[in-house]
């Protein structure tokens, strides 16, 4: 069964304390892995797409990496404004997009 | 920001009444999706459309129907609302399918009492 699992469910960091979020997937024939950020009361906002193992993408304090079984979202020296829920998603069955349940990140000053 | 608008943004309705949520886009994207988001379950696909009058079911389609008569509009109907359909509903659009970037609406918070 195609599945996307994210860990941890929640993460509390002190400002400047780097960490990583994990997204593991069991989709055959991966056609991309997406990371989204979601702020409370808003729709998810696109961050990155990764298409092949070994690929990396960076944006400010965020860096996404991809292996054959999982993806990591590394957060370097986070700031309080990085607090949000981070979602990963993968396409499956031609036309569908399946999401993980997300990691809720809180960064304290 | 992508031109995608959901209406209404908030709605309270009674059990057993029909409810229609609207998603309107100005991007001319082919694919449109309806998701619901609940604590502990994340975003779950209800229905999607891959073109005008072309729709298909997602993971949690029971009790929901959709219609797409124009490229820009995708309607989600709860035929007879139940309390289990209390949720936040999101519409999303993509240009070339699920392997490309999706843009989301702001969501509709639906409460069934």
Domain locations in chain B? Answer: 4-112
* B84 phi/psi in degrees, rounded to 5: -70, -10
Query: What are the chain A neighbours of B48 within 8 Å (beta carbons)?
Result: 95-96
**B27 in contact with chain A, both atoms CB, cutoff 8 A:** no
- Quickly state the pLDDT bin for A92 (edges 50, 70, 90): confident
pLDDT for A12-46, tens place per residue?
999 999 999 999 998 777 788 999 999 999 999 99
**Correct CATH for A4-108 of 2.60.40.10, 3.40.50.300, 3.30.70.20, 2.170.120.20:** 2.60.40.10
Instruction: Report the alpha-carbon distance of residue B80 to residue B78 in Å, rounded.
Output: 6
Identify the pLDDT of residue B1.
Answer: 60
Q: Is B86 helix (H, G, I), strand (E, B) or coil?
A: coil
pLDDT for A46-91, tens place per residue?
999 999 999 999 999 999 999 988 999 999 999 999 999 999 999 8
Q: Is A87 in contact with B42 (Cβ distance < 8 A)? A: yes
Q: Is A91 in contact with B90 (Cβ distance < 8 A)? A: no
- Quickly state the pLDDT bin for A93 (edges 50, 70, 90): confident
CATH superfamily, domain B4-112, is Immunoglobulins (2.60.40.10)
Q: Are A86 and A37 in contact (CB under 8 A)?
A: yes
Instruction: Report the alpha-carbon distance of residue B63 to residue B50 in Å, rounded.
Output: 21
- Among chain A residues, the shortest Cα distance to B54 is held by A95
Hey, how many other C-beta atoms are within 10 angstroms of the C-beta on A56? Answer: 12
Using CB atoms, pick whichever of B40, B50, B90 lies closest to residue A101: B40
B95 min Cα distance to partner chain A (Å): 12
Sequence-distant (6+) residues with CB within 8 A of B78 are B18, B19, B20, B21, B63, B64, B85, B110
Identify the pLDDT of residue A96.
Answer: 83
> Which ranges of chain B have pLDDT less than 50?
none
Q: Where are the domains of chain A?
A: 4-108
Query: What are the chain A neighbours of B94 within 8 Å (beta carbons)?
Result: 97
Instruction: Report the alpha-carbon distance of residue B32 to residue B72 in Å, rounded.
Output: 9
């Amino acid at each position: 069964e195609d599945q996307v699992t994210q860990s941890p469910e929640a993460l509390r960091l002190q400002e400047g304390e780097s960490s990583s979020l994990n997204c593991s997937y069991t989709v055959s024939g991966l056609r991309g892995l997406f990371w989204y950020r979601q702020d409370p009361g808003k729709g998810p906002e696109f961050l990155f797409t990764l298409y092949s193992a070994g690929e990396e993408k960076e944006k400010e304090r965020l860096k996404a990496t991809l292996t054959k079984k999982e993806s990591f979202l590394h957060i370097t020296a986070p700031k309080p404004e990085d607090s949000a829920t981070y979602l990963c998603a993968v396409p499956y069955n031609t036309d569908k997009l399946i999401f993980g349940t997300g990691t809720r990140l809180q960064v304290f000053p | 920001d992508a031109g995608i608008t959901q209406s209404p943004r908030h709605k309270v309705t009674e059990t057993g009444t029909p409810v229609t949520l609207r998603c309107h886009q100005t991007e001319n994207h082919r694919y449109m999706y309806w998701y619901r988001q609940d604590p502990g379950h994340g975003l779950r696909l209800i229905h999607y459309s891959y073109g005008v009058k072309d729709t298909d079911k997602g993971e949690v389609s029971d009790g929901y129907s959709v219609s797409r008569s124009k490229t820009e509009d995708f309607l989600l109907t709860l035929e007879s609302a139940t309390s289990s359909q209390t949720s936040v509903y999101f519409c999303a659009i993509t240009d070339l399918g699920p392997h490309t970037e999706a843009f989301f609406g702001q969501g509709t918070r639906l409460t069934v009492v």
